Structure 1
Amino acid sequence: MIQKITFLTLIFILFSCSTEHSESNTSADNMYFPPTDGSTTWETKSITDLGWNVSAVQPLLDYLQEKNSKSFIILGNGRIVLEHYFNGHTASTLWKWNSAGKTLTSTVAGIAAQEGLLNLNNKVSDYIGTGWTSAPLTKENLITCKNLLCMNSGLDDSLGDDVSPSNLKYLADAGTRWAYHNVYVKLQDVVEQASGQPWNTYFNTKLRDKIGMESSGFWYIGTGANLGLKIYFSTTRSMARFGLLALNKGKWNGTQIINEAFLNDATSTSQNINQAYGYLWWLNGKSSYHLPQTQLQFSGCLIPTAPNDMFCALGKDDQKIYVIPSKKMVIVRMGDAADSSNMALSDFDEVLWQKISALYP
């Protein structure tokens, strides 16, 4: 279970979530998109030119180094403001997204829906057949594609990452219980059946290649206790490209990759149990939240030290994509767990955001 309630957290919860600073200088430039032709070209903007606090850079990098980071990028209006690699990791090294990659599945499912290949309100069994769980058929047929996006399938989340039918057991009716569960990966099977294409092919042609994510990225398919689980590996810059697409409401350099309406829904509260959860995206600035592996509701916002309007892709061992529309910023962190192993969130997020906020006015 994530150890989220610390003295620091309690102090912040007594107050409202972080209010935004005045709009940073990143907003003065036009949005930039790096080329999608395989070039390594990517425009930069220096911290000095932005009028940011240069003296805050080294404390941030020192903290990232101390906390087992492998890479860190800040984009402002699409340009690289800060990029740093640690402990032998490089710009070409692949690393796992873990559950931050859930947002890739959400986005690709949304693309398939906008192409008319599937209806998110339809039950999952319409696409992959019955018996994909061990729940009674009447209960299985309550589970829609949208329930998988919202994490309210009602399936038992205590049985581990194996998503074979025997391990997907009924616990509550779909829509009545929020629980963080890797059953979301069944959406990839839905897309395969609806499109008539292998998941990798559809993902590559509809998303990866269109925004220039490197072709070296790949999906690892779990076995044994992780049977059926798929985890994406990529470079840090590929992760940043995806964050930039999300920042720009699904549009890449004038081309709408995923429609804005879907992305707005995906980054808004998706159900009435966990305010801080959209369609596989985490949402800051809400009055309460739930965390993986617990049914407790916590008061206050997800990351009190971060901007209220931030939404994020969060993965085990502190894989992060932070998207901050008010700042036109995307921030990526990849690495090993900052402290003890965790599913998505840790106290690292709060301290990291104190360090990030010291950078800009």
Structure 2
Amino acid sequence: MKKFIKFSLLLIVLFFAYVVYSNYPRLNIITGFSAKSVCSCTFEAGRDLQSIEEGDNDINPVFYAENVVNIEEKSVTSTVFGLKKRKAVFKEGVGCILVPEDIIETTSFKPVRNFNKTNLQYPYGELPQKDTVFNTINYNELQLAVNNAFDNENEEIKRTRAVVVIYKDQIIAEKYAPGFNKNTKLLGWSMTKSITNAVLGVLEKQGRININQTNLFPEWQDDERSNITLNNLLQMNSGLEWVEDYNTISDVTKMLFLEDDMTKIQLNKPLIGKPNESWVYSSGTTNLLSGFIRNQFKTHQQYLDFWYSELIDKIGMSSMLIETDATGYYIGSSYGWATARDWAKFGLLYLHKGNWNGTQILNESWIDYSKTPTNGANGEYGAQFWLNAGGVYPNAPKDLFSCNGYQGQHVFIIPSKDVVIVRFGLTENPVFKVDTFLSEILASIN
């Protein structure tokens, strides 16, 4: 019996040794992901550690990380078997920031927000909507379609957290998983790229930029990268080197979990393709665009305020927060937080061609540009938006375009149906069958 116990203990030790050895090169990224995730979900979304570790952090090998939450300091430290400790600190107004072990203080900047309430009904204000019944909607079919997006009891397959369906500016269906509700902030991941698109759209409307301009950065002035246009960056068709792989130590994981200044990693990459002929999905490009936006302002404070004063707060997305890196740049690729209802407001802005309750926030031409297919993407990508022009969802309208994020976050905008559909969860297509989800909802609206 003793030999069996010793043998079992040896197997356990060898197993843990193998786990550490096989993942050691990635430990900085594993603990960085874990600390950042737990910090944001705790202090930004107000969730408990158990739900975070069993939900957001149950990714192999992230679930090996041990997390310690310091409520007083508003920080989280994460290790794997005591190794590679990483720390994330919550800063009011800019969210959770990954910092080196020996540094506590990071950015001291904080955007100015305008939370003025309006005496209007949602989506243009905070008042509840009046009950509206559309005779063009089969509500039983609609509710069944929404219910089908969620797991049955004791299942963990679809893992949907929130669904909001808006038709003609009215919420016609809404559902949340246990532990989530209309006030829960949710991470959009790469849906944040579309927010970055909108900020650039505001600058374009103000006449401060144009999509065909070149010589975008001083660092490129003496080489062929000076010919890259703003359009090339927006369409991710610049020809710059980039690897977007979340399962390895790649450009994107190094950027998000190792870099203090996330605007620089794509900036310093060489040109390996021809602009407008080399489509490559790149979160680094979006953070480079965040750096480009910063360069349009004299001060960093003006840059921080602009995203909110000219866009986010103007359309009443009061729950939204875009997190920054350690140097104070918005992580426009990945870290936008808001309630499902506020994410839906963003979809409505684009559904209504840049107009928000009578105020033109973006030029209508900018909306058309954003959903114009880029070369080489088979009709699936425009300018920081995903498209259905190529029929990736065969049973949904071709004019659908969307904000998409890691693990199946979506804001679907469907002009021909006057519909915006929001879905948050932890599984993505094809595990979560997006085409079925869309087609079932749309079939209930005649």
**TM range, normalised to the smaller chain?**
0.7 to 0.9
Deviations 1:159-212 (A, max 9, x none): 421253376343213222001001122212212221335443111011111111
Give the aligned CA root-mean-square deviation in angstroms: 2.7
Equivalent position of 2:44 in the other structure: none
| Percent of residue pairs identical | 26
Which of 287, 291, 295 is the aligned partner of 1:193?
Answer: 295
How many angstroms does 1:104 deviate by? 0.9
Q: Which has the higher contact order (CA 8 A, sep 6+)?
A: 1
Deviations 1:218-270 (A, max 9, x none): 112357xxx96551011111100010110000001111110101111111223
- Aligned AA (2:280): A
CA contact (8 A) 1:96 1:231 kept: yes
How many angstroms does 1:73 deviate by? 0.6
Change (3 A) 1:75 1:35: closer
Equivalent position of 2:230 in the other structure: 145
Is 2:219 aligned against 1:104? no
Is 2:186 aligned against 1:95? yes
CA contact (8 A) 1:222 1:230 kept: no
Q: For 1:207, what is the secondary structure of its paired residue? A: helix
CA contact (8 A) 2:411 2:423 kept: yes
Q: In the TM superposition, what are the counterparts of 1:205-244 in structure 2 within 5 Å?
A: 205-214=309-318, 216-221=319-324, 230-244=334-348
Structure 1: 5+ residue runs without aligned partners?
1-31, 287-300, 340-344
Which of 117, 120, 128 is the aligned partner of 1:41?
Answer: 128
Equivalent position of 2:424 in the other structure: 334
Which of 142, 148, 153 is the aligned partner of 1:62?
Answer: 148
- Aligned AA (1:63): A
TM-score of the pair, normalised by structure 1: 0.75
Which of 80, 84, 98 is the aligned partner of 2:175?
Answer: 84
Aligned mates of 2:420, 2:142 — CA distance in 1: 18
Aligned mates of 2:231, 2:395 — CA distance in 1: 31
CA contact (8 A) 1:33 1:253 kept: no
Change (3 A) 1:192 1:41: farther
Aligned mates of 1:190, 1:199 — CA distance in 2: 10
Deviations 1:277-315 (A, max 9, x none): 2111111133xxxxxxxxxxxxxx111121121111111
Number of equivalenced pairs: 300
Q: For 1:221, what is the secondary structure of its paired residue? A: coil
TM-score of the pair, normalised by structure 2: 0.61
Change (3 A) 1:117 1:309: same
Which of 199, 223, 240 is the aligned partner of 1:155?
Answer: 240
How many angstroms does 1:88 deviate by? 0.9
CA contact (8 A) 1:318 1:346 kept: no
Equivalent position of 2:411 in the other structure: 321
How many angstroms does 1:36 deviate by? 4.5
Aligned mates of 1:109, 1:279 — CA distance in 2: 11
Change (3 A) 1:59 1:241: closer
Q: In the TM superposition, what are the counterparts of 1:12-51 in structure 2 within 5 Å?
A: 34=122, 36=124, 39-46=126-133, 49-51=135-137
How many angstroms does 1:348 deviate by? 2.2
Q: For 1:195, what is the secondary structure of its paired residue? A: coil
Equivalent position of 1:26 in the other structure: none
CA contact (8 A) 1:142 1:173 kept: no
Equivalent position of 1:303 in the other structure: 393
- Aligned AA (1:82): A
Change (3 A) 1:56 1:244: closer
